[in-house]
Amino acid sequence: MQPERKVNLAYRYSIASCLLSLSVTLPVAWAHTTRPPHLLSVSTKGTEMSFEPTEMTVRAGQHLSLTFKNASDPAVGFSHNWVLVKPGTKANVVAAGPQAGQEKDYVPDSPDVIAHTHLLKPGESQTIQFTAPPKPGDYPYFCNFPGHSELLKGMLHVTG
Ligand SMILES: [Cu+2]
C-alpha cells in the first residue's frame, strides 16, 4: 500500500505543477501571438498604373497584415507586385529587379527588401503579414515589374 500511495502523490503533484505552469505561461504566450495585426489594404486604381492609397502611416514595430489587390481589368491589365524597401534603397532594388526575373517575381534577394507580395495577375490579391520597421522614417513601396516603379508607388510612414 505504502509505495503505491507515494507514486500516486507524486503523480498528483506532477499534474498539479504542470497545470500551474501552463496557467502561468499560456496567457502570456497567447497575448503575444493573438494580438490582432493592424490591417492595411492597397490596390491598383483599376487598370491605371497607380496605387491607392499612395500614403500609409503605421507605428514602428507594429504587427501588420497587408492585402494587395491587382484590380486591373484581366483583358488589358498587367501583372503587379507590392514591394516595401528601406529608405534610400529603391533605386538599387529597382535596378536589380530584371536580373531577379519572373521566377522571383522581380524581387531581388536583398536585405533592403522589408516585405513583398508575389507578382499578381489582374484580379488576384494576396495578404502578407510582417512587422513594421523598428526605425521611424519614410519607407517607399512600389511595383518592381520592370518599368512600373515610377508610376505604381507610394510611401509608408513609420512613426515612433
Ligand atoms: Cu506592376
Q: Which fold has domain 38-159?
A: Immunoglobulin-like (2.60.40)
Provide the residue ranges of all domains of the chain, joining segments of one domain with +: 1-35, 38-159
Helices (H), the chain: 2-33, 90-100
pLDDT, position 127:
98
For residue 3, say if its preceding peptide bond is cis, omega within 30 degrees of 0: no
Give the full edge-to-edge strand order of the sheet including 38-44: 51-52, 38-44, 63-69, 125-131
Q: How far is the CA of 27 from the centre of ligand 1 (A)?
A: 43
Is the whole model's pTM more than 0.75, yes or no?
Answer: yes
Q: How far is the CA of 29 from the centre of ligand 1 (A)?
A: 39
Give pLDDT tens digits along the chain (160 positions).
Answer: 444 555 444 444 444 444 444 444 444 555 555 679 999 999 999 999 999 999 999 999 999 999 999 999 999 999 999 999 999 999 999 999 999 999 999 999 999 999 999 999 999 999 999 999 999 999 999 999 999 999 999 999 999 9
Q: Per DSSP, what are the bridge partners of residue 60?
A: none
Q: How far is the CA of 91 from the centre of ligand 1 (A)?
A: 16
Residue 5 burial (C-beta neighbours within 10 Å; 0-12, 13-18, 19+): exposed
